[in-house]
Amino acid sequence: MKRTIHIYFQIAFFATVFTTTQTAFAQKIGYVDAAYLMANIADAKYSKYVIAQENLQLFGKKLEEEFQRKGAEFKQMMDEYEASAATMTETARKDKEDKLQKMQADLQQFQQQAQQDIQRKEQEELKPVYDDIQNAINQIAAEQTFAFILSKDALLFASSPESDISREVLKKMNITPKNP
């Protein structure tokens, strides 16, 4: 008899734990596809995105022009060196070679810094677009009581297309979504 009561208590305990666990994990989870969002935003010519792209192009063009100018200076100095190297003294040749090496290192450093500046500028310019996306996600999460909204890129598996709120995000941003 005691053994039967003990088994009933165990069954009741596990049933309670199972029910509680199921309730705790029954939270609503959604996801967004960032690539799909950005493709639709670009296609829709979303004003903040267009402005960001124009500013990035101008910034990139400015850096490219500066790089071309520095490259032309380097090439001119190299041509001068090659034309007169045979008639230079050892000291003059060494000085010119040192200057050329420094210019080449400066060019490489400029190029690396330009790439970093472009990435920083891209984040800065696209921040208003990302803010609009985040605001739309926040609104949808509140309206539809999502506990979590994840990026599709972070998911290992998504079996429920109904959990994808990407189209709704675009609609909140007044963008007509295209089919994925």
Domain-embedded: residue 179? no
Domain-embedded: residue 101? yes
Q: How far from the centroid of its chain's Cα atoms is residue 17's Cα? A: 41
pLDDT above 70: percentage of residues in the chain: 85
Query: Which CATH number goes with the domain that contains 32?
Result: 3.30.910.20
3-state secondary structure string across 47-111: HHHHHHHHHHHHHHHHHHHHHHHHHHHHHHHHHHHHHHHHHCCHHHHHHHHHHHHHHHHHHHHHH
CB 41 within 8 A of CB 172: no
Q: Report the number of distinct structural domains present in the chain.
A: 1
Domain-embedded: residue 180? no
The per-residue pLDDT for range 2-59, each reduced to its tens digit, is 444 434 444 434 434 344 444 455 789 999 999 999 999 999 999 999 999 999 999 9
Domain-embedded: residue 142? yes
Domain that holds residue 132: 2-172
Looking at this protein, which amino acid is placed at residue 80?
Answer: E
pLDDT on residue 168 = 94
Domain-embedded: residue 89? yes
Domain-embedded: residue 138? yes
pLDDT on residue 25 = 56
Model confidence at 160, pLDDT cuts 50, 70, 90, reads confident
Domain-embedded: residue 178? no
